Structure 1
């Protein structure tokens, strides 16, 4: 818990708990911390403990006001300044492992649409799941999938969103925040709860998500594009679009390519 006497209005673990949405209470348990190495890593340790005891946990979220070892895609460090961002990991079971194939873009759609409400528009998705505003990074999604021999598969959905950073707080010149983008987002505890609730709803599947994903894309047909696949192969060409699972389609010099996992440069 935060120390008594924290400045009024400054987020603490109690305010995170109070702001937890009613529709999540009794459905998704909240672990709220002042500081943690990584919400994603802690969520995995919690799951592993339950699995080692042959237990099936309820869905839960790990939220922290600060991460000292936050990580993004491919293990990159993720700057997570105290009290300035939404740092949360949501652990969800899936009876149908096939649902995990489209989970990342579905979550990204929910993230972008929620952010657009708060900043008045202009948020786009850089494939596969980076949230940008006018070309500067606002946040992103990290998903760790866990398959088991028995019982449901699980996904840990990590969300990192720069919330209250001013210009001097941003980690790089290529970064932005909901406030720096000119938005008027809810206070951090309410914003975190609202975003998790929206992602929870999106995880159940929405029939029109792919059309919304395409509409929110920062990439336009014909744009020159270079990406690196999960296996390390470099692919360059022209952006064609996305298939029905949100996979990237490129027209390269060698012919059409579909990239299921990777990263776009630039």
Structure 2
């Protein structure tokens, strides 16, 4: 596991970022005094911010500011907004300034024997992953990059439909803030107003027939800049454009408050307990779609999901169920 005592370049910049997070103008002298360094040292640090997608505004004679400010993650703030049930279930919470991937880091932690009920968050991921090996764009200080480790007994059969139940948990968290137009796309996406807002990635470790651990990764777009958005290769939604003003710490706490209790009871309840809610949020219900699974594809009308989370399609050859694949209205995936 990554040694949390070794500071990354972004961790070294954290003190100056905390000073600039308010979006107000700060003189080089005041920044230097606060940090206990020279104005030249301050300037040297500020020059590094652009590399991380942060726009620094400089005004001669006045100082520097981050025009949009920063809503930085805080362990104290997340814990303060957690529901009591989630607070009891949470074992450890880590917030990193920069990692390759919170999922990868948590998988390493699990291999060392300590990943159950552990949550990892990152201000920036350099190699965030989505489904099917896709890159998940994760710039510094925006969006939510969250991973939860959980241990289950009973093998993978007890986890059927879990990715869909995670989608329900994220949708219910967004409902706490009255986010409009939230829907779910089988099997792993959260949509908002007809575009992708968040994705879910599940990765397994251990004995798939008995005791195993799952890392649940959630990535949610929140405050992406126009420059960063150019890197996204599919229609996307951004929470700050749909419902501005939601704090990242409050949103993170809401997601965990829905997610952790769901994970704790999932072996007993299964996906059947979440099927009806999922169905009411189904983005493609009743629509003609194409499902792509490897080199094979099928066309049909979406007829919901079964109690194990399998997609049901009404095809020319009758109703069929699918446990994997990707659906598209346009026949493109």
- Where on the TM-score scale, by shorter chain, does this alignment land: which range? 0.7 to 0.9
Any idea what the Cα deviations from partners look like across 1:182-241, whole Å, max 9, x if unmatched?
A: x145311221122122111122235631100000100122x1110112x54211122122
Shift of 1:11: 3.8
Q: Figure out how many residues of one structure are paired with residues of the other and give that number.
A: 257
Provide the secondary structure at the position in 1 that maps to 2:197.
Answer: strand
Match of 1:226 in 2: 290
1:160 to 208, 219, 226: 219
- Residue range with higher mean Cα deviation, 192-201 or 161-170: 161-170
- The structure-2 alpha-carbon separation of the partners of 1:96 and 1:185, relative to structure 1 and needing over 3 Å to count, comes to farther
Work out whether residues 106 and 115 of structure 2, in 8 Å CA contact, stay in contact via their aligned partners in 1. no
Shift of 1:18: 3.6
Shift of 1:34: 0.3
1:134 and 1:167 mapped to 2: Cα distance? 19
Higher helix share: 2
Q: How large is the RMSD of aligned CA atoms in angstroms?
A: 2.4
Shift of 1:26: 6.9
Equivalence map 1:97-246=2 (5 Å)? 97=155, 98-148=157-207, 152-165=211-224, 169-171=228-230, 172=232, 174-181=235-242, 183-184=243-244, 186-203=246-263, 204-205=265-266, 208-221=273-286, 223-229=287-293, 231-246=294-309
- The structure-2 alpha-carbon separation of the partners of 1:71 and 1:217, relative to structure 1 and needing over 3 Å to count, comes to same
Work out whether residues 291 and 328 of structure 2, in 8 Å CA contact, stay in contact via their aligned partners in 1. yes
Work out whether residues 119 and 185 of structure 1, in 8 Å CA contact, stay in contact via their aligned partners in 2. no
Provide the secondary structure at the position in 1 that maps to 2:132.
Answer: helix
Shift of 1:151: 6.9
Gaps of 5+ in 1: 51-55
Work out whether residues 11 and 83 of structure 1, in 8 Å CA contact, stay in contact via their aligned partners in 2. yes
- The structure-2 alpha-carbon separation of the partners of 1:76 and 1:24, relative to structure 1 and needing over 3 Å to count, comes to same
Equivalence map 1:47-126=2 (5 Å)? 47-50=110-113, 57-97=115-155, 98-126=157-185
Shift of 1:25: 5.9
**Higher Cα Rg, which structure:** 2
**Normalising to structure 2: TM-score of the pair?**
0.70
Gaps of 5+ in 2: 1-10, 23-69
**Normalising to structure 1: TM-score of the pair?**
0.87
Work out whether residues 75 and 95 of structure 2, in 8 Å CA contact, stay in contact via their aligned partners in 1. yes
